[in-house]
Structure 1
């Protein structure tokens, strides 16, 4: 057991900081082993605080303190105290005062990649959530906002580029032959938005003219040799800037906007004011090195971090419990941006897939927490799907209820009221309520209640009266610490589809004229009923169109209703949903048949739909690629919920794939040929959609009896002129025991062994293989020269992908997968606790597995939780998962 368990931090205990910082001046002299930071803070007591006396307590970790001064006077050791987490100055002046500290830190020893670290010759910072305290003693909390001035000094050869937030104001050489650059950020910000990057970097440059006519310099900094892989990121940035002006009226505010791409980074990207730092996998793109999915991710993440300039930077969160205020809102904004840039239906399907794959299990397991948590031990553990994806869904629900124009008025009021402030969820909701003229009193429950509500719906048609009565009720199961739930405000978009496959106009009781063909019904009680008049024939209800609320829907739809909707529903999302529900029903029955020996129905309707869609004259290739895909093994495990047998799930899904491929082989082959893209590569929605459908067809063909699929995949791999088609073919071959598999893997390695991002793809494909011996192969690959436990991208590509995406082998019956991942979590805990804690999430569903596996997973969790000296990050996840 641990000698001392960390204490939780609670929302109810929030108090404003006792001191305010009016200005922060940092003088940073870079050195790998001994970076010197001279911090000058102009301070005073905070009038918002009830504390009118007492010591000044600053946060600080992994720092060596050299001196402390107040108003120029050097303080003796008797006037302050230092421990592993704080600097406490026992007495400070009553009025304004200037505090100076001089500290050193060792960037080259910082494997946690939080604070200031050095990797591959590049100095970089990551200060969110609490990394600034590893740079200097400070009030390291979001509500301590101030204006920063930063001077960086470094070696002219090793660090010719010296970057920080804001605008550059001065540069020059020093007497000792080094050089410096001074930066000024005029907009108050908390320390978590501070950034510094230094190294021998190249850059590409462009300009953007804002809606008020200001010219902004745009620069993307990369390692030398990668300049030719920045063009798409630059264009995506300009699209995002223009979109934010048009959609939300938000204009960029500095003279320069910079992005730096680094290979060693814990996150996807970070929105530091004016200086975004990116994991380079979300910047670097060229047709031969990046897939369509990579291009789409670059566009979305560039937009997300840029949009933070207003929803996160200009208005930040008061405390970390309000994290959804910036993240959930900004995810909603980047989802809308992508929907406008690409296919809105396909984007909605993609977002809901992500939500169900990651957030729904979180809500249904031991790590469940509200969108605004009540407590935490380690804030890094709350960068979760609940905060991000579910937080975005809450914003989307308000948008649905208000409509685009009223929602915009609410957002305008939010920006007007709180610009330059550290705000709360209540501030946000009150502004939206006032601006959009909405009553959000009940809606606030979404932010404080955890769990996924279930909506139960049933309908009854009265032919004599020509009415259709729809009854809906809601229930939400108990979650940790919340045994009882109050009713939610749930907007449910509804349509009625007639026998002719067309939507009916909807007229509710009490209305004189026919209404729209899709109506949003607000379920606010535990149970409610709506009656539609003038319904000429028995309809099939299309419920929760567009997935207007993050709920589980249970409706009394028969199999024939699902087949009807997946062929005729005008709502693309619900058409896809009907197909997924139909296929899920087939697969669950097949899994049950594995246990009982009772043959499951063949489900020819799905194969017929696949055949019809592939042979139709006019199709949206990207949408067809989505609708004909079978639910994943992870999704099926979630649906089954208890006593999950991953072997039976895998076997059932493979049999259904083979059955569909056999029944639709001619259509698959024809579509595979027809969807081939010729001419120069383009990552736009049209070409990407064609490649997506072609590669889904290839996947099915590889499941059909015979070697034709292998030959097609091997041929595509040899002739592919872009990474999308190359990786798709390699992924198919990786799951087939054939000579072509090894040949393709070796050829890919030989071509791309010098490119770290391509090698990450190579690692991932092998980690996710369903073939026997995959775990042994993953273990062998941890010794590959291109792999290192010190780089989060490498760890995620090989080890985390094995744990999270390879259900078959992670859940091996002998527990070898569990032991391997537990060992790696403990190894990472000493190097990079954030990455280790995220990997541990693979164990969150341990209670849903069958008894033997359940016992083995529990054993490993207990081993981890009982390890002496465990970080707060891993300790919190392990103990909560076991609870």
Structure 2
């Protein structure tokens, strides 16, 4: 039929703000959806048939509004008859309907190969795959693309068998067969209602690593990890991680898998890390493929974490989904907390906690202190993809952790059981989750709910006074103003606290939970038998910035004796931070307390290697900047390099012993072996800081002798920042060895973009012209852009060339993939925190981006908010 567009229909503005307070239930239910795909790279045709009926819980409507994005309907029919009276409202399709049930059909056609946004159905290296979260399904067919419209799907796929021998989608396979001219078909059905963002389809020439899992009720679930045939040997770790996650979720949360099979597909072009589509998870290949020669220990850990995360979504996200996108942390914050807990249980809890908190401080704390700050449950957005942030994910996970801390293990489990039972098959809210915890535990959590709505990181000052056998803890909290929230209320802050004896090193006041709810509070400790050292926010029980009145000697003692591993790590970090901040300000400070503490840690026989590595690693330059009123990247870098150099020189013997250790074979991925390798590389970096010439020799030797990627990449990272002939030798050898492995070449790009060198800007400019650099591939783009943007010293080169380079890259990426481009903006976001010259240069680049014609709404939102 002819395309009918009513020129008088209202057109949607380009940058509409969506507000949480405006939420209304959708007027129509869509209990069943049938899709027929005629698949091809250059052209795919989709026929969608929707069963619709009025939603009694919503205001009635005589129009069915179906969302689209760059689609035009080829045909529309209602109850079997062609319809001519449909209209287009911008990208959306408006279909008039009388009250009652109807069958609505829509035909669409598009080119997956031309879809560089990688949202909807797109092509990746000859295969077809989908990404529908958050609003990608509307690029496949017209549909109410919102998470509170749940539907059961039956899908038929037809394709050239030679090009696409494997056809996968959600649920269970029903029928398959072959037609004429080499065409084959398959039909699948998903028995569980789901929002369209969880729809998935994959078609391609793939092979599967197959296995099975027997659930706690005795059902056998078939498992498959689908990759290109050459990549099959690299899927074993992902499969083992999946089975461990399935068993863990049964044992810890009582959640059993519900379908007959569970599939994972790895693709090389993907905007995110992975996607939890019901029964068919689609993964960025970086989070599936691994062997000791091509993947670091960190890669192995990330694969276990992400595989578990997406599997855990089967209940916390799929069976119970979110009502609207403002509730995104309902599924993401909760599931991040679940994957963090899984990681702690299968590895070192202390090291896992340190790693999680480091990520939070490096990314989320910076969000909270800049113009892009927003609550865990935002109030508005222009483009929902911009709210897949560390605040939603990581701070959201910390909020769940605080609830568990307050409730305790048993009551928290009872609450999650009730939540899953009460809301199974529904689209829920953050308030629903808290209500389930409250109802099951009998504990009022109202005081913690402020964390959902109030942005910003609380700052807590703590001071301990001791007189005789009594100690009094004085606490004070404040939260700085954030965009749209100039006045803050006191937060509920759970602080695990103990007192450590200055002489004995033992707990002289056992750990207790202090709930700070007001701006100020005092807490008394009785029967204190010796001078006390304050151990507070143990285990990082609350996501806060803590300022404790403690002398360097006190921190040194806590770094050696605190009974809580995380608090012990914190004492060392605080000791280093104080030295770094003072030195960056031009003050002269004795480094010996730091040297003694690091030396004691290295010489300890009670601490494992992984923990030692984390404790002796100096705080990042960005973390130092977070603690200063005005950030001067050059001064901070100079201070950190000075500290690394002093440690490297004064403790060369201890560091050399650590660097020579870690001789376990590369295929050994036990916690002990990984810890030894981690300490080996951290020690190598400090040795190179103390004696660059000797460090280069040691690094080149480690590089050449390595039988695993962890040691090889660790040595290359050290060499990348040095001015030595071994640098080029290692980089060239690495490239020659792995030039045909895209994931490993991403490492090669990233290591150079992260290098601490005066000429790093020149290096990244050259890398962006390298034949292997492809900005259309998100992994390759991020390998330079993210690594460079987090390289505080190089990115903030006083010439401003780093700012211009990243801004140019963002603008280029926006033409291809707005979602990925927008996620490159945050390094500019805190421009007002920097010294005036750099602040002005950053603002100029943001203004240049904003003034560029044709800016996507994704990028527009991030940049315009950054300029406020």
Match of 1:854 among 832, 839, 842: 839
Question: What secondary structure, in the 3-state scheme, does the structure 1 residue paired with 2:29 have?
Answer: strand
Residue equivalent to 1:513 = none
Match of 1:21 among 16, 24, 30: 30
Residue equivalent to 1:295 = 300
Alpha-carbon shift at residue 4 of structure 1 (Å): 6.4
| Residues 220, 230 of structure 1: 8 Å contact kept | yes
| Residues 62, 98 of structure 2: 8 Å contact kept | no
What's the CA shift string for 1:849-875, capped at 9, x where partnerless? 111111111011011112221111000
Alpha-carbon shift at residue 454 of structure 1 (Å): 1.3
| Alpha-carbon distance between aligned partners in 2 of 1:385 and 1:309, rounded to the nearest angstrom | 21
Match of 1:86 among 69, 75, 92: 92
Question: What secondary structure, in the 3-state scheme, does the structure 2 residue paired with 1:158 have?
Answer: coil
Match of 1:649 among 630, 636, 639: 636
Residue equivalent to 1:509 = none
Question: What secondary structure, in the 3-state scheme, does the structure 2 residue paired with 1:387 have?
Answer: helix
Match of 1:469 among 461, 469, 472: 472
| Alpha-carbon distance between aligned partners in 2 of 1:323 and 1:53, rounded to the nearest angstrom | 27
Alpha-carbon shift at residue 129 of structure 1 (Å): 0.1
What's the CA shift string for 1:491-527, capped at 9, x where partnerless? 1100000123434354xxxxxxxxxx11001111222
Worse-matched range after superposition: 324-333 or 833-842: 833-842
Alignment of 1:621-660 (within 5 A): 621-642=609-630, 644-660=631-647
Alpha-carbon shift at residue 22 of structure 1 (Å): 1.0
| Alpha-carbon distance between aligned partners in 1 of 2:133 and 2:607, rounded to the nearest angstrom | 45
| Alpha-carbon distance between aligned partners in 1 of 2:392 and 2:110, rounded to the nearest angstrom | 32
Match of 1:534 among 527, 530, 536: 527
Worse-matched range after superposition: 3-12 or 209-218: 3-12
Q: Given the superposition, is the C-alpha separation of residues 741 and 53 from structure 1 closer, same or farther in structure 2, using an over 3 Å criterion?
A: closer
| Alpha-carbon distance between aligned partners in 2 of 1:125 and 1:693, rounded to the nearest angstrom | 40
| Alpha-carbon distance between aligned partners in 2 of 1:4 and 1:863, rounded to the nearest angstrom | 22
Alpha-carbon shift at residue 626 of structure 1 (Å): 0.4
Worse-matched range after superposition: 617-626 or 712-721: 617-626
What's the CA shift string for 1:357-380, capped at 9, x where partnerless? 111111111011110000000000
Alpha-carbon shift at residue 705 of structure 1 (Å): 2.6
> Structure 1 residue 237 and structure 2 residue 245: aligned?
no
Question: What secondary structure, in the 3-state scheme, does the structure 1 residue paired with 2:825 have?
Answer: helix
| Alpha-carbon distance between aligned partners in 2 of 1:56 and 1:474, rounded to the nearest angstrom | 50
TM-score (normalised: structure 1)? 0.96
Residue equivalent to 2:183 = 178
Residue equivalent to 2:275 = 270
| Residues 501, 569 of structure 1: 8 Å contact kept | no
> Structure 1 residue 588 and structure 2 residue 564: aligned?
no
- After superposition, the CA RMSD in angstroms is 1.2
Residue equivalent to 1:551 = 544
Alignment of 1:47-62 (within 5 A): 47-50=56-59, 52-62=60-70
| Alpha-carbon distance between aligned partners in 2 of 1:47 and 1:238, rounded to the nearest angstrom | 42
> Structure 1 residue 441 and structure 2 residue 426: aligned?
no
> Structure 1 residue 661 and structure 2 residue 669: aligned?
no
Structure 2: stretches of 5+ with no match in the other structure = 1-11
Alpha-carbon shift at residue 119 of structure 1 (Å): 1.7
Worse-matched range after superposition: 538-547 or 763-772: 763-772
Q: Given the superposition, is the C-alpha separation of residues 808 and 246 from structure 1 closer, same or farther in structure 2, using an over 3 Å criterion?
A: same
The count of residues paired between Structure 1 and Structure 2 equals 857
Worse-matched range after superposition: 296-305 or 647-656: 647-656
Alpha-carbon shift at residue 20 of structure 1 (Å): 0.5
Question: What secondary structure, in the 3-state scheme, does the structure 2 residue paired with 1:525 have?
Answer: coil
Match of 2:672 among 686, 698, 709: 686
Residue equivalent to 2:569 = 576
Match of 2:786 among 800, 808, 814: 800
Question: What secondary structure, in the 3-state scheme, does the structure 1 residue paired with 2:263 have?
Answer: strand
Q: Given the superposition, is the C-alpha separation of residues 827 and 174 from structure 1 closer, same or farther in structure 2, using an over 3 Å criterion?
A: same
| Alpha-carbon distance between aligned partners in 2 of 1:716 and 1:554, rounded to the nearest angstrom | 40
Residue equivalent to 1:836 = 821
| Alpha-carbon distance between aligned partners in 2 of 1:39 and 1:175, rounded to the nearest angstrom | 23
What's the CA shift string for 1:152-183, capped at 9, x where partnerless? 11110110011100001111112343011111
Match of 2:430 among 425, 429, 453: 425
Alpha-carbon shift at residue 553 of structure 1 (Å): 1.2
What's the CA shift string for 1:327-354, capped at 9, x where partnerless? 0000000000000000001111111111
Question: What secondary structure, in the 3-state scheme, does the structure 2 residue paired with 1:175 have?
Answer: coil
> Structure 1 residue 479 and structure 2 residue 482: aligned?
yes
Q: Given the superposition, is the C-alpha separation of residues 628 and 606 from structure 1 closer, same or farther in structure 2, using an over 3 Å criterion?
A: same
> Structure 1 residue 617 and structure 2 residue 605: aligned?
yes
Residue equivalent to 1:781 = 767
Structure 1: stretches of 5+ with no match in the other structure = 507-516
Alpha-carbon shift at residue 671 of structure 1 (Å): 2.1
Match of 2:392 among 367, 387, 393: 387
Question: What secondary structure, in the 3-state scheme, does the structure 2 residue paired with 1:461 have?
Answer: strand
Worse-matched range after superposition: 524-533 or 279-288: 524-533
| Alpha-carbon distance between aligned partners in 2 of 1:730 and 1:505, rounded to the nearest angstrom | 46
Q: Given the superposition, is the C-alpha separation of residues 536 and 394 from structure 1 closer, same or farther in structure 2, using an over 3 Å criterion?
A: same
Q: Given the superposition, is the C-alpha separation of residues 177 and 870 from structure 1 closer, same or farther in structure 2, using an over 3 Å criterion?
A: same
| Residues 61, 84 of structure 1: 8 Å contact kept | no
What's the CA shift string for 1:175-199, capped at 9, x where partnerless? 3430111110000000000000111
| Residues 507, 563 of structure 2: 8 Å contact kept | no
Alpha-carbon shift at residue 616 of structure 1 (Å): 2.6
Alpha-carbon shift at residue 706 of structure 1 (Å): 5.5
Question: What secondary structure, in the 3-state scheme, does the structure 2 residue paired with 1:225 have?
Answer: helix
Alpha-carbon shift at residue 478 of structure 1 (Å): 1.3
| Residues 269, 305 of structure 1: 8 Å contact kept | yes
Alpha-carbon shift at residue 787 of structure 1 (Å): 1.6
Match of 1:141 among 138, 146, 150: 146
| Alpha-carbon distance between aligned partners in 1 of 2:517 and 2:760, rounded to the nearest angstrom | 49
What's the CA shift string for 1:185-229, capped at 9, x where partnerless? 000000000000111111110010000000000000011200000
Residue equivalent to 2:491 = 488
| Residues 495, 503 of structure 1: 8 Å contact kept | no
| Alpha-carbon distance between aligned partners in 1 of 2:498 and 2:131, rounded to the nearest angstrom | 47
Match of 1:209 among 214, 217, 229: 214
| Alpha-carbon distance between aligned partners in 1 of 2:831 and 2:722, rounded to the nearest angstrom | 29
| Alpha-carbon distance between aligned partners in 2 of 1:530 and 1:651, rounded to the nearest angstrom | 41
Residue equivalent to 1:260 = 265
| Alpha-carbon distance between aligned partners in 2 of 1:277 and 1:176, rounded to the nearest angstrom | 30
Residue equivalent to 1:605 = 593
Residue equivalent to 1:744 = 730
What's the CA shift string for 1:460-488, capped at 9, x where partnerless? 1111xx11111212211111111112222
| Alpha-carbon distance between aligned partners in 1 of 2:99 and 2:589, rounded to the nearest angstrom | 80
Alpha-carbon shift at residue 551 of structure 1 (Å): 1.1
| Alpha-carbon distance between aligned partners in 2 of 1:780 and 1:553, rounded to the nearest angstrom | 42
Alpha-carbon shift at residue 773 of structure 1 (Å): 2.6
TM-score (normalised: structure 2)? 0.97
Alpha-carbon shift at residue 437 of structure 1 (Å): 2.1
Question: What secondary structure, in the 3-state scheme, does the structure 2 residue paired with 1:545 have?
Answer: coil
